[in-house]
A = this chain, B = another copy of it.
C-alpha cells in the first residue's frame, strides 16, 4: 500500500476555514493534480470564488457510461489541540489505524477510491472531482457544477463521505435528510430596560421567545406545527428492521441522559425541528437586571423524503406568526433550505442497475453483506449533483463510528483503506 503517499497527503494542513492555510489548500490541490497526472488521468485545477476544485478524467469509450467520483481535500480545524494524542498533521499509526486530521474525513476515504481507480482497467469513463470547501459548506460548489455542466456530465456520482458499521460491514447510504435553517428574533421594548424600574410594566422578549419556542413541540418532543409531518414517505419494514437492529452504544454514550426512545430510527426516518442556538439579554458573568430589548433563536429542521423545504418553512413560519404575542415584533430571516435525498435505483440507466446489484457482492468481501441505510445528516453536494446534473449518488460509507470525525484524534482504519481500494478497482472493472 502507498502509505508514504497517504502520509504525505495527510501532512498538508488543508484547513479550508482558516485564512492562514490558504497556501496549504493550494499545496493539497497541486498534490492531487500531480497524482492524477502520474496515473494517466488528464487533470486540471479549476478556480472557483474560493478554494479550487481538482478535476480529472480518463476516457475509455464514448459509448460506455460515465462515473463521477467525488471527494474533498479540505479538512476541519484541529481545536482543541490539547486533546490530540499525536500531532494532527504528523500521521501516527497505532493498532491498525492511522491518526491525523482528515484521515477519514475525507482524505483516506477518497485516496483509497483513487488508488482503486489507478490500478484498474476500467470499463467506464471516469471523472473525478475533489473539492476544497466541503467543511465550509461547499460554498462555491453548486456554481462550479453549473459553470462546468457539460464537462461534468455523467450517469452516476460515487462518493465515500459517510459512515460504516465496522471494518467488516460497509454501509450504502440510500437517503439523506434535507436541511432548512432560519433565525427568529423577537423585539419588545425600545431598548434594554432596568428590571426594577420597568419590571411588571413591560413584556420580556426572552419570556415571549421561550414560550414561542415551547409552542413548537409537544411534551414528548414531537414537532407541534400544523402539517409538519404531512406527505412523509414512510420507511419500508426492511429499513425499519435494520435501523432497529443497529447498535446504539455510541449514541447512548454521546447522548448521555438526553437519549430519546428509538434513536436509530428517529435519526433515519423522522424529521426534526431543532434549536441550534439561543441568545438574548445579558449573558456575561454575574447578574445584570435588565429586561432585554430583543432575543433570538437559530432553528434548523431535518427533513425526510416526502417533505419539501420551502413548504415546511412556510408552515413553521405560520405557526410562529400565530403564536407570537402582540407585545413583540417578530422577524424570521436567513432562510436556507435543501430537500431530502433518496436513492431510487429505478432512476438509473439500465447499464448501471446491474452495476449496483454487483456492488453488494463486491462489498461483502469486507466480511459481511453491506447494509442499506438512510442517514440523518444532509450532504449538500448530493442535492447539488441531482439538481444541477440530474444524477443520483452512490454513497459507500467507509468511516467507522469511532473515527472521531471533526474531533481530536481523527482516525481511519488501514484495513478499510486497503479493502476499499480493492473494492473500487473491481467496481470500475465489472460491467
Contact = CB atoms under 8 A, between A and B. Distances in A.
A336 interface: yes
A302 B199 contact: yes
Given A190-B255, A255-B190, A274 B199 contact: yes
A260 B378 CA distance: 44
A16 interface: no
Contact of A206 (B196, B251, B295, B297): B297
Contacts of A209: 210, 278
Interface string A276-298: 11111111101111111001011
Contacts of A257: 188, 326-329
Contacts of A264: 201
A270 interface: yes
Residue of A188, A205, A206, A288 with highest tally of chain B CB at under 10 A: A206
B327 A258 contact: yes
A259 interface: yes
Nearest to A302: B199
A177 interface: yes
A206 B199 CA distance: 25
A274 B298 contact: no
Interface string A197-228: 11111111111011101110101010000000
A200 B298 contact: no
Interface string A56-71: 0000000000000000
Residue of A207, A254, A275, A326 with highest tally of chain B CB at under 10 A: A275
Contact of A292 (B188, B205, B276, B287): B276
Interface string A308-327: 00000000000000000011
A275 B206 contact: yes
A188 B221 CA distance: 14
16 contacts: A177-B199, A188-B255, A189-B256, A197-B267, A199-B302, A200-B270, A201-B251, A201-B259, A201-B263, A201-B264, A202-B251, A211-B217, A258-B327, A277-B282, A277-B284, A279-B279
Contacts of A48: none
B194 A377 contact: yes
A258 B292 contact: no
B202 A259 contact: yes
A255 B214 contact: no
A9 B329 CA distance: 43
A300 interface: yes
A146 interface: no
A264 B297 CA distance: 31
A217 B207 CA distance: 8
A219 B327 CA distance: 12
A275 B292 CA distance: 8
Residue of A190, A197, A201, A297 with highest tally of chain B CB at under 10 A: A201
A378 to B, nearest CB: 5
A125 interface: no
A282 B298 contact: yes
Contacts of A254: 189-191, 193, 198, 202
A274 B406 CA distance: 38
A207 to B, nearest CB: 6
Contact of A205 (B202, B221, B258): B258
A210 to B, nearest CB: 4
Contact of A298 (B205, B221, B281, B302): B281
Given A198-B255, A200-B260, A201-B266, 11 more contacts: A189-B254, A200-B270, A204-B274, A206-B277, A206-B297, A210-B213, A210-B297, A257-B328, A277-B282, A279-B279, A282-B298
